[in-house]
Amino acid sequence: MSFSTPAEFDDTPQGQIRRMVQMYSRPKPQPAPEAPPAVGASIATPDAPPPVVVPKAPSAPQQRIDAANAELNGPLSRGSGVDQYAHKHPILGTIAKIGDAVGSALFPTIAMQVPGTQLHHNQLVNREQNTIRQAQGEEQNAALLDRSAADVAHTNAETSALLHPQPKPKEENWAEFAGYTDIDGTPLIREQNSGQVVRASDKQHPGGFKVAEPAKAPDEFEKDYRQYLMDNHFPDTALNRLHYRSEWEMSKNAVQVRGQNMTDARSREQNQIARDTKEQQRNAQAENTLAGFNSNMDRLATAANDLLNHPGLEGITGLRGKIPNIPGTDAANAAAKLNTLKSQAAFGVLQDLRNQSKTGGALGQVSDKEEQMLTSNLAALDTAQSTDEFKKSLQNIINFTDGAKQRAREATGRTTGQAVAPSAAPRDFGVAPAGKNEGDTGTLPDGTKIVVKGGRIVAQ
């Protein structure tokens, strides 16, 4: 009588190998998911804990790295199924390992698909290691893209600040509060921006308001002072009024030179000399201003020309310009020159144009137009366009600087734009009176030393 032996009770070497393969090929049981708490249910806690800072969730590549490391450090770290069986059953395990080696050598493709074999185990280890390497590469690429995006955002912020500067707070602007005085008759002044009214003498709040007396007809000084402001294009300030008052009173008073009174004609001649001296100083200032304007334009043209002829220009424009630059390459150097052109050279020119616009005059009127043209040309420097179009934009900036210098010379009536030093002319007090000889000296009441030179009285 014979009995059939079930596979689970087969103690032959073939049966043991068969049971080992079945054991390691079974799927692992998964734990049942926990049931979520019922809607509206509350969890009792003895004391409310402090707020917990939720850590930032790891990225998808990092999650894959963690999962692969868990496999490598978990089940795969214990070796293949054959190795584990040999550890528990040395004799039978040795036979199993020999069978695994023979099968892997004869049928490697089939052995890779059989769980528990050494080739299958090696395939699993290689798969997890490849997953780690691929995920690490994705992490590095993501970090590189983040840095590139941050650099682009920083450059855009600087360009936006250059093209759209924030308005400066208004400065205080005080003027006469016409029609009213303090109750004691003290004149009042008013701040034009805030509307605040204070006393002109001490800037204290007035005790009250009183209708000012009707203005009298301007006296001789006021007429001369208004004409003086119009002739010289000066603003009506306390300093200008005080300065002209001293000159006006000097011209009205008799000035004695060794007992001789200077006539009104000589006083007017003296004032004319003073005005001529101031005109020379204004001319010198205009020449110096034009020279500074031309210097800024030349600096901008040089920066644009350097970038136009740079070998790395193609690396920062068009499709190639969207790829991050490698430090030390021609493309990186060209990007640095573009940043210098926008943030230093162009910024200095724009600031100079705005300062000139505040001063008024011929050059100030030119600066308003030049600022608009330069802003438009800078906005055209977009690296997304092709290299040829970008070069055209750089050439437009160079052409703009040449035209701006020519327009400034035409507006100011200057031809050179070279800086000059104002010449100081000696003070002239008019023709020497009869009886005065060449070389005679004297002293004015204000202490000025004078001498007769060429038939005229001049300051030493």
Amino acid present at 318 = G
Taking the C-alpha atoms of residue 217 and residue 215, their distance in angstroms, rounded to an integer, is 7
Mean pLDDT of 253-264: 47
In 3D space, the residue among 27, 29, 7, 30 whose CA is nearest the CA of residue 17 turns out to be 7
Rg (CA), the chain: 47
pLDDT digit string, tens, across residues 401-427: 888 888 877 776 655 544 444 445 567
Residues in the chain: 460
Mean pLDDT of 310-324: 81
Mean pLDDT of 242-255: 72
Taking the C-alpha atoms of residue 126 and residue 72, their distance in angstroms, rounded to an integer, is 10
By the 8 A CB rule, do 193 and 170 touch?
Answer: yes
Give the pLDDT score at 40. 44
Give the pLDDT score at 127. 84
Compute the mean pLDDT over every residue in the chain, rounded to the nearest whole number. 74
Alpha helical stretches, state H, 115-237: 118-163, 220-232
> Cα dihedral sign for 342, 347, 353, 357?
positive
- Check: pTM over 0.85? Answer yes or no: no
Taking the C-alpha atoms of residue 407 and residue 409, their distance in angstroms, rounded to an integer, is 5
Ordered by start, the domain boundaries in the chain are 1-20+59-140, 174-214, 285-412, 426-460
Taking the C-alpha atoms of residue 386 and residue 460, their distance in angstroms, rounded to an integer, is 69
Q: Is the pLDDT of residue 25 over 50?
A: yes
